[in-house]
Chains A and B, each alone.
Chain A
Amino acid sequence: MIGIVSYGGYIPRLRLSRKVIAQNMAWYSPTIFAYAQGEKAVANWDEDALSMAVNAACDCLAGQDKGAVDGVSLASTTLPYADRQSADILATALHIREAGLNTADFTGCLKAGTTALISALDALAAGKKKAVLVAAADQRGAKMASSQEMLYGDGAAALLLGGDRVIAEFEDSYSISCDFADHYRGTGKEFDYAWEERWAREQGFGKIIPEAIAGFLKKTGTAVGDYEKIVYPCCFAATHAGIARRLGADPAKVQNPLHTVCGDTGAAHPFVMLLAALEEAKPGDRILTAGFGQGCDVLSFRVTEEIRNRKPRLGFQGALANRVEMTNYAKYIKFRDLIEADLGIRGEANPNTSLTILWRNRAKLLGLVGGKCRACGTPQYTFTPVCVNPDCQATGQMDEYEFADKSGTVFMYTGDMLAASVDPPAIYGIVDFEGGGRLLADFTDCKLDDIRVGLPIRMSFRRRVKDGMRGFSGYFWKVVPQAAEARS
């Protein structure tokens, strides 16, 4: 049996009510009112598709055997590099062993996530792989007052696929691939160029998804009624409902497309919706899942008894529950770099990033891997060959020690109005980890007033540099104070 062994979700904490967009921009384009229901998930200023994918993957891998992973794929249409594989950065951030590992980015269209999934499952079915992590994430830009600005949300999800302790068994897949381009994003362009929505709805979503699902049912000799949950993306509510009617599916068994709670998360959306379905599934349920974009991928899974033993995680619902409303549209468009705001001369410094240092220290700088002294057991970050424990100071006894999954508490902190930041004050400080070790780091996803010494914290992977001059995106881990956890 092969299938889904674990899953993890990441929905950024900020949510922008679509009413806020409409209130600010409907004067310019009243048609956006059509989509002004609910809210969309918005990546923080220090997040992108890759950083969100890392956080989803961490959620997915918690409690799993990372050592068994021999494949890592990342699906997205908004990866930071054209030539530097994001899946490799993802694997490094997760501190997955490099020898014997295959990595791949799946990109180029919105069904990239399901395509990555099918490829991984095919490799597992063929016995060529043992455990493959597939993450999907998107953080698509959109022009102010566009339909895309209303519809698109940011998010990520990850699936660990394998043959051991499978919670949802893979049954079969079927695909239609065609150059149906209702939109495209040319190389180097920031925004989608979209054709008339009526055409996309009727000839795209409304036609290709039902055809692909019908093809799948025919191939597998099953009926739509055999599936407890039908999962397919479509950000147009009426079209989404129309597809169910056309398939003859019970509307109660169709997964909600999540428009009102997070928006369309692009290549990640089939995964995000699948997570939502899995979180409600019981053993024996069959789930039909589709990804749409220049055709359509369809897969089915049968939920096993093992789902009762799944380890605690954020998942989709947990990530969704970590929510803070963003009420300031100007802040949103600044975070998305749609406007130019003065950062001051202090903000001009733009040193390049040494790639030799990044390579030499990749575990340390991307994976938050510190040292643990063999002689005295002290975890430490950062580290030199000489142990930091004054009673030890053994030389050359450092083993690798992962800090990314450790919780901790705030030791000291500040909120700095002088530091150049697009989200002042720049909050940072020092935290102490459970089990030992201390880290000086930026804080994120928090409010200065909520922070105090001793507050619990967790780590989150973030983009800390976006160097437009050189096209470089740099990443590190930041501290996320857990004010809500402390209250509960």
Chain B
Amino acid sequence: MATGIRDKVAIIGMGCSRFGERWDAGPEDLMVEAFQECIADAGIEKKQIQAAWFGSCLDEVNVGKSALPPSIALRLPNIGVTRTENYCASGTEAFRGAVYAVASGAYDICLAIGVEKLKDIGYAGLPDFASGMGLTNIQWFPNMTAPGCFAMLGSSYAAKYGIDMKDLKRAMAHVSAKSHANGALNPKAHLRNPVTEEIILKSPMVAYPLGLFDCCGVSDGSACAIVATPEIARSLEKKDFVTVKALQVSLSNGEEMSYTNWDGSGFVTAAKASSQAYREAGITNPREEISMMEVHDCFSITELITMEDLHISARGGAPKDIMDGFYDLDGKIPCQVDGGLKCFGHPIGASGLRMIYEMYLQFHGRAGERQLKDPRYGLTHNLGGFPFMNVCSIAIVGKQGS
């Protein structure tokens, strides 16, 4: 009988590069930047790392295929490095690989690192999907982009709950304004200006009903974690170290897209992965027990709907919770404490690890101006792909013994 991952693996060090339009830095620079912070934090030597997992998504425009890029950039000691690619869950998948390897007893100390270099393509937004969707899909998929795909959720969510689009847009604007306010407090964030809901509502339309400020930044960056057994964490004299409480992944099986049972008001995968994660972590009432979250706010509508899929807001209740400030920095469950994808930025392969990095900083009291008081459980969430066909990953972390 599987017992889950809870408390079997400790995070002994983390690092994260500054995110942004890093015209000055290539992916190898970004990885080194994150790794140097991480290894210093862990207090170990590079040669102690026994295996590594590497998350990158858009290899065509990024670092290319295989896990060689970090092996070479960091001059890793000829250890096994495995590349994980699972859309926007790629970074969390790298973390999962490293954590599972330690939990299995195969290794004592492993590295998870993610990087994405997006700002070398010459235009705004994510690279065109054309070459990445497969030779069959390319013959019939619509001419779609990421904002357009997620924008569709706005139409079906509003239709399902009979919400006026103006009211939904207002709640979406609050989502973005809150993340801007948080991002302004974070020196590593890509976007650091507070923005008012009025400006957000007036921003030019990107894909109806999403305006410019409903969309997250497209950024360059890298983040990494060194994980080890709790015994090693203790032997390194780590106090109050952070352990993994849950790691879950759920993938669509085509029902949302081809069967008519999905109502377009949520993510099937996120609802399932979060339920499993709470069970694995021993959480029975997430609205009371989760202290903070970093969710996949690629677009404001995604974050809004995710609050319901995570079983924190009631179905149809996210707009009210959002407008009530429930997810604000001073709310019951602060969400996107570091600015989120929206303002910290979204270098795809690094994003999952960056979210865990913020949780890690918060647990160690190193979050500066945005430090929360006594967080217990932190939840991170990635949603890769499309609303109708996606990959969802959830991680829950907390202090050892919490």
Whether A353 touches B139, Cβ cut-off 8 Å, given contacts A412-B264, A417-B206, is: yes
A390 to B268, CA, bound (A): 13
Name B246-294 residues within 8 Å CB distance of A.
253-255, 257-261, 264
Partner of A351, one of B130, B158, B210, B261: B130
A354 to B121, CA, bound (A): 25
Q: Is A396 an interface residue (CB 8 A)?
A: no
> Closest chain A residue to B123 by CB distance?
A345
Whether A474 touches B139, Cβ cut-off 8 Å, given contacts A388-B255, A414-B152, A436-B260, is: yes
Partner of A381, one of B159, B207, B258, B388: B258
Partner of A418, one of B131, B140, B145: B145
Whether A415 touches B152, Cβ cut-off 8 Å, given contacts A361-B136, A390-B255, A390-B259, is: no
> Closest chain A residue to B159 by CB distance?
A453
A442 to B144, CA, bound (A): 8
Name A410-456 residues within 8 Å CB distance of B.
411-421, 425-426, 428-430, 432, 436-438, 440-442, 448, 452-454
> Closest chain B residue to A360 by CB distance?
B136
Q: Which residues of B contact A358 (CB under 8 A)?
A: 139
> Closest chain A residue to B151 by CB distance?
A414
Q: Is the CB of A430 within 8 A of B152?
A: yes
Q: Is the CB of B258 within 8 A of A414?
A: no
Q: How many residues of A contact B (CB 8 A)?
A: 51
Q: Is A344 an interface residue (CB 8 A)?
A: yes
Q: Is the CB of B143 within 8 A of A438?
A: no
A378 to B205, CA, bound (A): 38
Q: Is the CB of A420 within 8 A of B259?
A: no
Q: Is A107 an interface residue (CB 8 A)?
A: no
A436 to B259, CA, bound (A): 8
Q: Which residues of A contact B154 (CB under 8 A)?
A: 414
Q: Is A349 an interface residue (CB 8 A)?
A: yes
Q: Is A346 an interface residue (CB 8 A)?
A: yes
Partner of B259, one of A353, A361, A365, A388: A388
Q: Is the CB of B156 within 8 A of A453?
A: yes
Partner of A413, one of B141, B152, B260: B152
Whether A429 touches B122, Cβ cut-off 8 Å, given contacts A438-B259, A448-B208, is: no
Q: Is the CB of A454 within 8 A of B261?
A: no
Partner of A412, one of B122, B135, B153, B207: B153
Q: Is B4 an interface residue (CB 8 A)?
A: no
> Closest chain A residue to B141 by CB distance?
A440
Q: Is the CB of B131 within 8 A of A430?
A: no
Whether A416 touches B147, Cβ cut-off 8 Å, given contacts A380-B259, A381-B258, is: yes
A432 to B145, CA, bound (A): 21
Q: Is the CB of A453 within 8 A of B155?
A: yes
Partner of B207, one of A344, A354, A416: A416
> Closest chain B residue to A477 by CB distance?
B140
A227 to B70, CA, bound (A): 83
Q: Which residues of A contact B125 (CB under 8 A)?
A: 346, 418
Q: Is the CB of A349 within 8 A of B254?
A: no
A474 to B148, CA, bound (A): 23
A426 to B258, CA, bound (A): 22
Q: Is the CB of A415 within 8 A of B156?
A: no
Q: Which residues of B contact A425 (CB under 8 A)?
A: 205, 207-208
> Closest chain B residue to A479 by CB distance?
B142
Q: Is A222 an interface residue (CB 8 A)?
A: no
Q: Is B25 an interface residue (CB 8 A)?
A: no
Whether A390 touches B261, Cβ cut-off 8 Å, given contacts A351-B131, A411-B156, is: yes
Partner of B140, one of A415, A420, A476: A476
A98 to chain B, nearest CB (A): 20
A453 to B141, CA, bound (A): 20
> Closest chain A residue to B146 by CB distance?
A418
> Closest chain B residue to A391 by CB distance?
B261
A47 to chain B, nearest CB (A): 16
B130 to chain A, nearest CB (A): 4
Q: Which residues of B contact A349 (CB under 8 A)?
A: 128, 130-131
Partner of A428, one of B122, B142, B205, B264: B142
Q: Is A389 an interface residue (CB 8 A)?
A: yes
Q: Which residues of A contact B123 (CB under 8 A)?
A: 344-346
Q: Which residues of B contact A426 (CB under 8 A)?
A: 142-144, 148
Q: Is the CB of B139 within 8 A of A383?
A: no
Q: Please give 4 more A-B residue pairs, beta carbons under 8 A apart, in addition to A345-B123, A351-B138.
A: A364-B140, A414-B155, A440-B141, A453-B159
Chain A contacts to B: CB under 8 angstroms: 344-346, 349, 351, 353-354, 357-358, 361, 364-365, 378, 380-384, 388-390, 411-421, 425-426, 428-430, 432, 436-438, 440-442, 448, 452-454, 464, 474, 476
9 closest A-B pairs by beta carbon, nearest first, are: A416-B148, A453-B159, A428-B142, A414-B151, A412-B156, A349-B130, A412-B152, A442-B142, A416-B207
